[in-house]
C-alpha cells in the first residue's frame, strides 16, 4: 500500500491513479478515500492524476489517540501534497473534507493549488452560534456522539439508510449497496477518531480560511441536504469566497457524490477545464 508517515508519527494511506494535472480529493466523515472512487475513476480516465488519502484515524491510516482536529487534518494534507511534489493541483473536499481543504488553504496557502471545490461541504460553520444563527444546535451533534457511544454500527446504518442519501424521502429509490458501502467504510474508522471528528467538523469556524482563497472555487450543494443544510453551508461559503461558482442541485441529498455522480463528474471536469 502507498503510505507515508507524518511529522507526528501517524501513518497515512493514499491512492494515486493516472497521470496529468493532479486532482486531490478529501473525504467526508466517517468515510475514506474510496468514497470518491466514482469521481477518481472518471477523471483518471479523462487524463488526470487523481489522489485521495484516508484521513488520520479513518480507513487504512493509523488511529492516533490525539490530533483528530482540522489543523492536523490540514497539515497531513500539506505533507501529502509536498511529498508528491504536486503543482497546479485541484483540491476537492466533500463534507468534512471541504473543511480540511479550507483549513489547508488557510494554513498553507495556494502556492501549489490551481483551483478548489467544496462539495456538500461543512464550511463556513455548522454549529449554531449567536454569530451563526443559521447553524445546527449543539444538541444535534451531541446526539450523534451519544449514538456513536451507544452503537456506532447502528448509527452508521441509520445515517446511510436515511438522511445521507435522502433514502428517507417519499419515492426515493433505495440502494442497499450504498447503505452497506457507507457502513463498511465507517466501521473501518477508529472509534475515538471518528468520535473526535464530530467536534472537528461541527465546531470549527472556517470563515477566515475561506477569505484566504485566491483561486477559482466551485461550490456544489444539494438543496435537500439534510446533513449539512445548504443555507448555512454552500450558500454562505459562496458569499465569502472571492471567485466562487455556485451550483445548486435541486432535490439532491448530502451524498450526491454517489446519488448524482454522473452530473457531478461532468461538472467537476468542466470546472477543471475552465468551462
**pLDDT for 18-46, tens place per residue?**
999 999 999 999 999 999 999 999 999 99
Out of 58, 254, 258, 267, the active site residue is 254
How many CB atoms neighbour CB 164 within 10 A? 25
How many CB atoms neighbour CB 124 within 10 A? 25
Q: Does residue 76 have an active-site annotation?
A: no
Give the structural domain span for 121. 3-273
Cβ contacts of residue 273 below 8 Å, gap of 6+? Answer: none
Out of 54, 225, 258, 267, the active site residue is 225
Q: Does residue 85 have an active-site annotation?
A: no
Percentage above 90 pLDDT, the chain: 99
Q: Please tell me what DSSP assigns to residue 18.
A: S
Out of 95, 120, 161, 237, the active site residue is 95
Question: What pLDDT, on the 0 to 100 scale, is given for residue 204?
Answer: 98
pTM above 0.85, yes or no: yes
**pLDDT above 90 for 120:** yes
Cβ contacts of residue 70 below 8 Å, gap of 6+? Answer: 99, 100, 103, 200, 204
CA distance 178 to 94: 16
If you average pLDDT over residues 225-229, what whole number do you get? 97
Report the number of distinct structural domains present in the chain: 1
Per the CB < 8 A criterion, the answer to whether 3 and 59 are in contact is: no
CA distance 63 to 188: 10
- Rounded to 5 degrees, φ, ψ at 10 are -80, 140
**pLDDT above 70 for 275:** no
The pLDDT confidence band at residue 57, using thresholds 50, 70 and 90, is: very high
Q: Give the distance between the most distant pair of CA atoms in the chain.
A: 49
Q: Does residue 151 have an active-site annotation?
A: no
Cβ contacts of residue 188 below 8 Å, gap of 6+? Answer: 32, 58, 59, 60
CATH number at residue 250: 3.40.50.1820
At 130-176, the pLDDT tens digits run 999 999 999 999 999 999 999 999 999 999 999 999 999 999 999 99
The set of long-range contacts for 247-250, using a CB threshold of 8 Å and a minimum separation of 24, is 247/218, 247/219, 247/220, 247/221, 248/221, 248/222, 248/223, 249/220, 249/221, 249/222, 249/223, 250/222, 250/223
Grid coordinates in use for 18? 493516472
Amino acid at each position: 500500500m502507498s503510505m507515508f508517515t507524518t511529522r507526528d508519527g501517524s501513518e497515512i494511506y493514499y491512492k494515486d491513479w493516472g497521470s496529468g494535472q493532479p486532482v486531490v480529493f478529501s473525504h467526508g466523515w466517517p468515510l475514506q478515500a474510496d468514497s470518491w472512487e466514482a469521481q477518481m475513476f472518471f477523471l483518471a480516465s479523462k487524463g488526470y492524476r487523481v489522489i485521495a488519502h484516508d484521513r488520520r484515524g479513518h480507513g487504512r491510516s493509523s488511529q492516533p489517540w490525539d490530533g483528530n482536529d482540522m489543523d492536523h487534518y490540514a497539515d497531513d494534507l500539506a505533507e501529502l501534497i509536498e511529498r508528491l511534489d504536486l503543482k497546479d493541483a485541484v483540491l476537492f473536499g466533500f463534507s468534512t473534507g471541504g473543511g480540511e481543504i479550507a483549513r489547508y488553504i488557510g494554513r498553507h496557502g495556494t502556492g501549489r493549488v490551481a483551483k478548489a471545490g467544496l462539495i456538500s461541504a461543512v464550511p463556513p460553520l455548522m454549529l449554531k452560534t449567536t454569530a451563526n444563527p443559521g447553524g445546527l444546535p449543539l444538541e444535534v451533534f451531541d446526539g450523534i456522539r451519544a449514538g456513536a457511544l451507544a452503537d456506532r454500527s447502528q448509527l452508521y446504518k441509520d445515517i446511510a439508510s436515511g438522511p445521507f442519501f435522502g433514502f428517507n424521502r417519499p419515492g426515493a429509490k433505495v440502494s442497499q449497496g450504498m447503505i452497506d458501502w457507507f457502513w463498511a467504510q465507517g466501521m473501518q474508522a477508529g472509534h475515538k477518531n471518528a468520535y473526535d471528528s464530530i467536534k472537528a467538523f461541527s465546531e470549527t469556524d472556517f470563515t477566515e480560511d475561506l477569505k484566504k482563497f485566491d483561486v477559482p472555487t466551485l461550490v456544489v450543494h444539494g438543496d435537500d441536504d439534510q446533513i449539512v443544510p445548504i443555507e448555512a453551508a454552500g450558500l454562505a461559503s459562496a458569499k465569502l469566497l472571492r471567485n466562487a461558482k455556485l451550483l445548486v442541485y435541486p432535490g439532491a441529498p448530502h451524498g450526491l457524490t454517489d446519488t448524482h455522480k454522473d452530473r457531478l463528474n461532468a461538472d467537476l471536469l468542466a470546472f477543471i477545464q475552465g468551462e
